[in-house]
Amino acid sequence: MEGSRSIIGASDELSDIFCEPCEKIQQQKTADGFCVDCSEYLCGPCFSYHKRCKSFENHVLQDKSKMPWDRKNVKTKDICIEKCHVHMDKVTEYFCASCDKAGCHVCMTIDHRKCNISHIPDIVKGLKTTEEFRSFERRLDNLHDNLQHLQDTVDKNFKATYDMNETALSDLEKQSDKIKVFFNQLYEKVEMDIVNKKNEDKRSFEVCSKDIIVLQKDLHDLKFRRDTLKKNGQNCELFIFIKNARLALKKVSNDVMLLSKNGKVSKVKYKPSEDVENMRKHIKELGSLVVGGSETKDQNET
């Protein structure tokens, strides 16, 4: 009986623990097991898949009777699990200080025989206190903040450009009310120029905003990956992630500089023609009716 009460109590406590992979897709399923290597709670289907998948064949799995009941008691294994980009069946677990590259033991044997090689788990202790990590973290966060600031600036500048275009149209329409009949064709041409500029600005800012959204997603993914590894204490993976993400950050940085130029406001203002204003003041009539005289034909008239 005592054993039964213990199992019932465990079930009640476990009812609040949910499958973490399912939660990532907005589904809540009660956890039926735990992966020690991934440090994740798994529902029945995810637990079964974990057992079958070749990528997880060496992972330590615990069923519902052995899984930890309190997330605070879960310790993440700080080991290298990322596959080598060159030798896909090997794990990236070595670092060449001479070439500043990470790779598997095959990479090191083939390409780095005379280099200074270290086993990543041996060199990542205290990684989060190193200047390299702090610099990487500052750069990632600052780039993310700068991109958000750029998005806010682009939105503000687009509104300012839109308002200026609207004001230009309004000023044009006020003038057109005075000279509409006589200068209808000129009015339509200027109106078309402004509308085209307005549409051009709109398209330009829309493209800029879409590019920013793509970069925001890329940075969000990098931040999420960094935060996850940092939170779980996976310094090995964090170290590799830092090394692999440098090119991505450089590309994003270059794209942000380019977008900063493209997202600037090009001032737009309608300037009435002084000649037209003077004409309107001084011209009293379009022509006059001539009475009398002889009618002559133009030589070119047929």
8-state DSSP, 222: H
218 with 107, same domain: the answer is no
8-state DSSP, 84: P
Task: Indicate if the pLDDT at residue 140 is higher than 90.
Answer: yes
DSSP bridge pairs for 102: 95
179 with 216, same domain: the answer is yes
Q: To the nearest whole number, what is the mean pLDDT of the chain? A: 79
Instruction: Quote the pLDDT of residue 76.
Output: 58
More confident residue, 301 or 289: 289
Find the angle CA(291)-CA(292)-CA(295) to the nearest 5 degrees: 110
99: domain CATH number? 3.30.160.60
Greatest extent of the chain over all pairs of C-alpha atoms, in Å:
130
196 with 66, same domain: the answer is no
9 with 102, same domain: the answer is no
Instruction: Quote the pLDDT of residue 149.
Output: 92
Instruction: Quote the pLDDT of residue 285.
Output: 59
Instruction: Quote the pLDDT of residue 274.
Output: 86
Find the angle CA(89)-CA(94)-CA(99) to the nearest 5 degrees: 115
230 with 253, same domain: the answer is yes
Nearest-CA neighbor of 209 among 243, 253, 259, 175?
259
Task: Indicate if the pLDDT at residue 13 is higher than 50.
Answer: no
241 with 178, same domain: the answer is yes
More confident residue, 228 or 6: 228
Task: Name the domain boundary from 48, 73, 98.
Answer: 73
Give the count of domains, the chain: 3
34 with 161, same domain: the answer is no
Whole domain around residue 118: which residue ranges?
78-123
- Mean pLDDT, residues 132-149: 92
249 and 144 Cβ atoms separated by less than 8 Å: no
236 and 91 Cβ atoms separated by less than 8 Å: no
Q: What's this model's pTM, rounded to 2 decimal places?
A: 0.38
Q: Does residue 294 belong to any structural domain of this protein?
A: no
- Mean pLDDT, residues 252-258: 78
